[in-house]
Amino acid sequence: MIGVIGVSHKSASVTVREKFSLDSEESDLLAQRLLGNKYFKELVILSTCNRTEIYFSADDICSDGAFKVVRTELMRLKDSKEDIQPFLYSHYHKDAAHHLFSVVAGLNSMILGEYQIVSQVKAAYAEAEIRGGVGKIFHRMFNKALESSKQVRLKTPFNQGAYSVSYAAVEKCYEHFSNLADRHILVIGAGDTGELVLKNFVKKGCRNISITNRTAQKALELANDYNGRVIPFENMLDGIHDAEIIVSSVSSKEPIIDAHKVRAHMNGHESVVMIDLGVPRNIDADVADIDKVTLLNVDDLKEVVAMNAERKLEFVSVAEEIIDEKVQEFILWLNEQNLAPAIKKIDSIITNLYEKELEAYKKSFSEEEFEQVRKFNRYVSKKLKNKFIKQLKAVTDNGRITEFVSVINLLFDDNNNEPTHN
């Protein structure tokens, strides 16, 4: 079976999402534990500012059992005792594939059709390959999802307008400062999100942009590309002193900025906007208590998101048609993979049984009679195989109910003892 279990901006607030956000080290540990379980064969972990999702392929275990194992290991990793069940969603088989295809196409994003999710999924898949978590099934499924996403973006205008959270953040700043181009801006973090923030500020004509990042070389590269200036990460508070707009998107388990630090470095600006795009959050919630500071997080961008979505909703049906078609192609292939071993076993066991029984009575027939009996045996054998395979497809819903496929495999196990002839 294939399945996914996760939490997203649709099921939980940023306060909940940040508790189950997974950095690279945590993802490695969770993957190690799950892939060390005899039932789990493939695993891809996707963790972004808007979602944490665990995709898995498992054998010889029911869907409820697999979800319970994943949920238990996630709570164990996060040392969580609270009930997270209300915030989690889970899908298996076709629904799991459909969920992934919708995610990659941007239909499940906060910004309808956003493109950044594509690079995030590609990165998650690449990390899973390094861990040994990708096999034949996920290779096919994730590549089909990316193929589907490409078609959606070619046939819909989803890439136009607010196509990322980074864009929405800059639009929000524009609401606060009509003369945005003249504002002093500090961008904290030089990853994909930070670069998109820079790009969108530059498109608005902004000139006074500073960049700070833990890795100085990356900040320097972006500063050269977008005509900004670099502030060493250890001097970040100096940048806060000068800035009227601060956008942060770094990977950090704890806030890197709090009210105490900000108050000590205020510069008397009439208004300061701070936007926290990190999950877990980069900026402590107590910063919102500071006079003249407006603190926003990813969930506060929903107004911009709603305006963007209205222009694109009419194209959702087009995207869904493409996704449904690609999901169906994948599921047909997957079902064939599920049934192939069982069909092979049925063919093998019936053929071997007939041949063995025929050989046992060979001396009882003349050569001509034996050939006639052999032909009849082949005919009956073929009919019997077709009957079993037809029943197999019906009982397993064409391979969808993998638990039943496993039972069939056991019934037609070549290692079972066969009767002997005296």
pLDDT tens, residue by residue, 195-206: 999 999 999 999
Q: What is the mean pLDDT of residues 48-62?
A: 94
User: What is the longest distance spanned by two Cα atoms in the chain?
Assistant: 109
Residue 390: helix, strand or coil by DSSP?
Answer: helix
Q: What is the residue type of 25?
A: E
Q: Please give the Cα distance from 62 to 44 (Å, whole number).
A: 19
Contact 26, 77 (CB under 8 A): yes
Cβ contacts of 95 within 8 Å, gap of 6 or more: none
Contact 162, 117 (CB under 8 A): no
Q: Bigger pLDDT: 384 or 58? A: 58
Q: What is the mean pLDDT of residues 324-344?
A: 88
Q: Name the pLDDT band for 377 (thresholds 50, 70, 90).
A: confident
Say yes or no to pLDDT of 84 above 70: yes
Say yes or no to pLDDT of 422 above 50: no
Contact 180, 174 (CB under 8 A): yes
- pLDDT at residue 417, rounded to an integer: 47
- pLDDT at residue 159, rounded to an integer: 65
User: Is 49 tagged catalytic?
Assistant: yes
Q: What is the mean pLDDT of residues 128-142?
A: 97
Positive/negative CA dihedral, 287, 292, 295, 300: positive
Q: Bigger pLDDT: 136 or 161? A: 136
Model confidence, pTM? 0.79
CATH of 165-310, one of 3.10.110.10, 3.30.70.20, 3.40.50.720, 2.40.110.10: 3.40.50.720
- Where do we find the tokens 């025929």? 358
Say yes or no to pLDDT of 41 above 90: yes
- Among the listed residues 49, 62, 173, 206, the single catalytic one is 49
Q: Bigger pLDDT: 298 or 365? A: 298
Average pLDDT of the chain is: 90
Q: For the chain, first and last CA: distance in Å?
A: 44
Q: 2-161+313-329: which CATH topology?
A: Beta Polymerase; domain 2 (3.30.460)
Positive/negative CA dihedral, 147, 148, 152, 158: negative
Say yes or no to pLDDT of 218 above 60: yes
**Among the listed ranges 6-15, 223-232, 294-303, which one has the minimum average pLDDT value?**
294-303
- pLDDT at residue 414, rounded to an integer: 63
- Residues constituting the chain: 422
Residue 319: CB atoms within 10 A of its CB come to: 25
Structure tokens belonging to residue 283: 């900026």
- pLDDT at residue 281, rounded to an integer: 95
Say yes or no to pLDDT of 162 above 60: no
pLDDT tens, residue by residue, 284-296: 999 999 999 999 9
Contact 384, 390 (CB under 8 A): no
